[in-house]
A and B are shown apart, each in its own frame.
Chain A
Amino acid sequence: MADARARRIALGALVVAAALAPALLHGYALYLAIEVVLYAIAAVALDLLVGYAGLVSLGQAAFFGLGAYAAAIVSAHAGPNLALTLVAGFAVAALFAAITAPLSLRSAGIFFLMITLAFAQLVWATADKWHSVSGGSDGLVVPRLPLSDTLFYLISVTLLLLIIAGLSYLLRTPFGRVLEAARQSETRTRALGLSAFWYKYWAFVLAGGVTGLAGVLHAHHRNFVSLADVDWTNSVVLLVMVLLGGARSLWGGVIGAGVFVLLQAWISSRTDKWEMFVIGAVLIVVVLFTRRGLWSLVNA
C-alpha cells in the first residue's frame, strides 16, 4: 500500500521532471518545445471529446482561432497581459461552444463532424471579411509579452499539466462516468434517467474553452494571428494528433502533438518538399499497425 503510493509519487515526480526539463533548452529547441506544449493543450481537449465523450469534432480550429484573435485584440487594447488574454480567450471560445453546441449536438457521428466543420468555416468566413476586427487576410500583430521564452515555456507546461490533472480528475467523478456511459450508449444512459445531452454539452464547452487557451498561447508565441489559425486544415491536424497518439488516454494528445510537431520540424529542416508525404505515411503506418494510436504501443 505504502509501496504503491511511493511508486505513484515517484512517477508523478518523473512526469513533472520530464515536463520541466525542456526549460533548460534555448533558442529554436525551446521554441519547438513550446509549440509541442501548446498544441498538446488543444489535442488534450479534443482527446476529451473524441476519446471520452465520443464526439469527433472537425471544428476545433474555430476555438483555437477565437482564442488567438481574442488574445490579439485584447493585447492591442489593454497591452500584452497573459493572464488577461488567457481569460479572454477561454471565455470567447467557451461562449462560441456554448452557443453552437445545442445545434451541433443534435447530430451524431459523421453529421456531428460536418456541423462542427461548418461552424468553424463560419468563423473563418467572418474573420476573413471583418477586416477592422481581424485584419482580414493581413492578420494581426500581437505585441510581445514581457516574458522570456523560458518563463513562457514554464507557464505553458504548467498549464498543460494542470489541465491534464484537472480533466483526469473530472473523468473519475460521477460527471466523467456519465460521460463515458453516454459515449457508449446514449439510449441506455437516458434509460437510467440521465440526460446524455447536458454531459456532452459541458464537455464540449470545456473542450472549446481549453482549445481557446491553446490559441491564446499560440498567438503570444508567434506574435501573429492570421486566417490560417482558423483554417479547417488546422482542425484536421488536431484530429490527426489525437488519433495518432491514441484517443483513449489524455496523454495520447500529448504524444500525438509531440510526434507531429517534431516530425514536421525535422522533415522541414531536411527538405521543403516532402513534409506532408512523410506525415501522411506515418499516419497510415500508425493506423494500420497499431490498434489505438501510438499510446497503445506504450500501454501494451
Chain B
Amino acid sequence: MPPQLLEVQGLNSLAFAMLLFLLAAGFSLIYGVGRIANLAHGTFYMVGAYMGYTVATKTGNFWAALAIAALLGGVLGWLVERLLLRRLRGRELDQVLLTVGLAFILADVIRAIWGADIRSSSPPAVLSGLVPVFGVQYPAYQLFVIVVGVVAFAALQLLLRSPLGARVRAVTADPQIADSLGVPAQAVASGTFTAAVALAAFGGAVGGPIIALAPGLDLQMMLLALVVVVVGGLGSVAGAFVGAIIVAAVNGFGSLFYPEFAPFLIFALMVVVLGFRPQGLLGRRG
C-alpha cells in the first residue's frame, strides 16, 4: 500500500467523519439533555441537505444556502419540540415513537416536494479544484468540510464551558438536581433540541456536494449516527467527535483493505463497545 493512498484515505475518512460528527453531536446532546432518542435526526439532516441544494442552485450563493439550511432547521426543530415533543414529557418510549412518525412524514414530504430524482450540489467555485496537502493533491471542498467539522467541535466545546453550556452539562448529568438548583431543565432541553436540529440541517447542507441526495439518505445517515454515538458515548460532544472519526476510519480503511467485510466491521464494533463498555468511550454510566 503506497503511503499516498493511506494519506488520501485518512483525509477522506476525516471528511466523512466531520459530516457524521455534525449529525451525531446533535443526536447525542438531545439524548443527554432530554433522554430522547431522536430517530428523526437523519431526516432532519436530509431536510437540510435538500434545502441547501435548492438555495444554492437557485441563488448561486453557497454560503447563503448553508445559513438558510441551518436557520430553517432550527425553526423546524423548535416547532417540533414546542408542538409535539413537549407534550410527551417523561414518556421516553412515546417520544421515540413520535420521532419515528415524524421521520416517516418528513421523508414523504421531501419526496413530494423534490421528487425522487437523485440530486447533487456543487461546491462553490472558490472551493472546487485540488490543493496540495502533505504531498498529495486533494479536493479543496473535502478539506473545507474537515475545517468546518473541527471548528464546529471547538465551538461546541467552548460553548459547553460557558455558563450556558454549564446548564446543558448540568441537565445532562441529572435533570432533577439541575431543576432544584434553579436550572430550568425543560427550557434547556428545548433549546438544545432546536440547536441540535439546526446543526444536523447545517451538516446536511455542508455534505451536499460530497454525498448525493436521494430518498433513503436519511436512513443511511441515521444508522451511521447511531453507531457513532454508541462508540463515542451518549451525551458527550467530544465522544461524538472521537466516535465519528473511529467509525469513518473503520468504514474507510475497512473498505480499502477488506471491502467485503466493511459493513460487518462497523456493526461488530458497535456490538463490542456496547457489550464491554456500553457508555461508549467518553460517555458516562446512567
Whether A277 and B271, one on each chain, are in contact in the complex, defined by CB atoms closer than 8 angstroms, is: no
User: Chain A interface secondary structure, helix, strand, loop or mixed?
Assistant: helix
Q: Which residues of A contact B177 (CB under 8 A)?
A: none
Q: Which residues of B contact A126 (CB under 8 A)?
A: 264
Q: Which residues of A contact B263 (CB under 8 A)?
A: 121, 124-125, 128
Q: Which residues of B contact A275 (CB under 8 A)?
A: 108
Whether B102 and A111, one on each chain, are in contact in the complex, defined by CB atoms closer than 8 angstroms, is: no
Q: Which residues of B contact A121 (CB under 8 A)?
A: 223, 263, 266-267, 270
Interface residues on A, range: 35 or more
Q: Which residues of A contact B219 (CB under 8 A)?
A: 233
Q: Please measure, in the bound complex, the distance between the C-alpha atom of A100 and the C-alpha atom of B151, giving whole angstroms.
A: 40
Q: Which residues of A contact B104 (CB under 8 A)?
A: 276-277, 279-280, 283
Q: Is A236 an interface residue (CB 8 A)?
A: yes
Q: Please measure, in the bound complex, the distance between the C-alpha atom of A243 and the C-alpha atom of B271, giving whole angstroms.
A: 26
Whether B97 and A115, one on each chain, are in contact in the complex, defined by CB atoms closer than 8 angstroms, is: no
| B44-78 Cβ-contact flags toward A at 8 Å (1 or 0) | 00000000000000000000000000000000000
Q: Is B278 an interface residue (CB 8 A)?
A: yes
Whether B278 and A280, one on each chain, are in contact in the complex, defined by CB atoms closer than 8 angstroms, is: no
Which residues of A225-251 have CB atoms within 8 Å of chain B's CB atoms?
232-233, 236, 239-240, 243, 247
Segment at the B interface, from A5-13, A22-30, A71-79, A102-110: A102-110
Q: Is B31 an interface residue (CB 8 A)?
A: yes
Q: Which residues of A contact B230 (CB under 8 A)?
A: 111, 114, 118
Question: Which A-chain residue is minimally distant from B116 (CB atoms)?
Answer: A273
Whether B93 and A56, one on each chain, are in contact in the complex, defined by CB atoms closer than 8 angstroms, is: yes
Whether A277 and B109, one on each chain, are in contact in the complex, defined by CB atoms closer than 8 angstroms, is: yes
| A109-133 Cβ-contact flags toward B at 8 Å (1 or 0) | 0110111011101101110110000
Whether B84 and A111, one on each chain, are in contact in the complex, defined by CB atoms closer than 8 angstroms, is: no
Q: Which residues of B contact A (CB under 8 A)?
A: 31, 37, 39, 84, 87-88, 93-94, 97-98, 100-105, 107-109, 111-112, 219, 223, 226-227, 230, 234, 260-261, 263-264, 266-268, 270-271, 274-275, 278-279
A-B contacts, 5 of them at CB < 8 A, read A114-B274, A118-B230, A129-B264, A232-B223, A280-B105
Q: Which residues of A contact B (CB under 8 A)?
A: 50, 56, 103-104, 106-107, 110-111, 113-115, 117-119, 121-122, 124-126, 128-129, 232-233, 236, 239-240, 243, 247, 273-277, 279-284, 287-288
